[in-house]
Every structure is written in structure tokens, then in C-alpha cells.
């Protein structure tokens, strides 16, 4: 059986399955100090607070997805090691300047053919990016 036929059969079985990912539930970053991280992501990054569950978990509404912060050590997630979140912004240069004014570690502005990006490190060492699509 050729690879393309085998792949096609697997894909057909998968498409009929009820066991498919249907949406992104949330993105989670592990932090030691949740109240301090709430302040950073709300006041410096500018995220809109969502649900909060005391001092151990808080969410921010980012479009249709939640960005959550909490101490994930008991689940095997080391604080300060999270990466991968990319937040879409309208004024990347202005946001970069905002981070510089707050003393936050932020990269220079990188320009790519279809977008611009900066890379940020939060106070606990977690990394994320800000992204702006080009018109």
C-alpha cells in the first residue's frame, strides 16, 4: 500500500471519529507568585482579566482563548520555563516602548515579510512574543 493511500485511509478514520480536537481551551504559564504575575500581565502587558480562582490560578481573556497563569509545580510545570504564547497587537513599536519603560526584558523589533515581532521575558523568566501582522 502506498504512503498516500495509507495516509488517506487514516485521515478518513480520523475524520469519522468523535475524538478530535475542536478548539483551543487555554494557554497556561507556570509562575511562583500568582498575584505578582496578575499585576504584570494586567498592568504591563495589558491583558483583560477573566476568571480568577484565588491566589493559585487566574485567566485573561485574549480573543476567544484564555491565557492562564498559576503555579503548576505540582503538575510538573516548572515556573519560569513556559514559552510559546504570541499576543497579536496593533502597535508593536509602542508596546515595545511600554515594556522598555517598565524595565521588562524585551528584544529589538524583528521585521519579517508578513509580520513584525518582539520577544519578551516576564519577571519569572517565562517567554512570550508580541506579533503584528503587516497590512
Q: Is residue 59 part of a domain?
A: yes
Q: Is residue 1 part of a domain?
A: no
Rounded to whole angstroms, the Cα distance separating 41 from 45 reads: 5
Q: Is residue 5 part of a domain?
A: no
Q: Is residue 11 part of a domain?
A: no
Q: Is residue 9 part of a domain?
A: no
Tell me the pLDDT tens digit for each residue of 7-49. 677 666 666 666 677 788 899 999 999 999 999 999 999 999 9
State residue 135's pLDDT score: 84
92: domain range? Answer: 25-133
Any idea what the CATH number is for the domain that residue 112 is in?
Answer: 3.10.180.10
State residue 17's pLDDT score: 60
Domains in the chain, number: 1
Q: Which whole-number Å values give the CA distances from 108 to 87, 104, 119, 121, in the listed order?
A: 16, 12, 8, 13
State residue 55's pLDDT score: 87
* pTM of the model as a whole: 0.82
Amino acid at each position: 500500500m502506498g504512503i498516500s493511500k495509507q495516509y488517506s485511509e487514516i485521515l478518513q478514520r480520523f475524520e469519522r471519529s468523535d475524538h478530535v480536537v475542536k478548539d483551543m481551551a487555554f494557554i497556561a504559564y507556570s509562575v511562583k507568585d500568582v498575584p505578582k504575575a496578575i499585576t504584570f500581565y494586567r498592568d504591563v502587558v495589558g491583558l483583560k482579566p477573566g476568571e480568577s480562582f484565588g491566589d493559585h490560578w487566574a485567566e485573561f481573556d485574549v480573543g476567544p482563548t484564555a491565557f492562564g497563569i498559576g503555579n503548576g509545580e505540582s503538575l510538573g510545570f516548572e515556573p519560569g520555563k513556559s514559552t510559546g504564547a504570541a499576543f497579536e497587537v496593533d502597535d508593536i513599536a509602542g508596546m515595545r516602548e511600554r515594556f522598555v519603560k517598565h524595565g521588562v526584558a524585551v528584544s529589538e523589533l524583528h521585521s519579517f515579510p508578513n509580520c513584525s515581532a518582539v520577544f519578551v521575558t516576564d519577571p519569572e523568566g517565562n517567554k512570550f512574543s508580541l506579533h503584528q501582522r503587516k497590512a
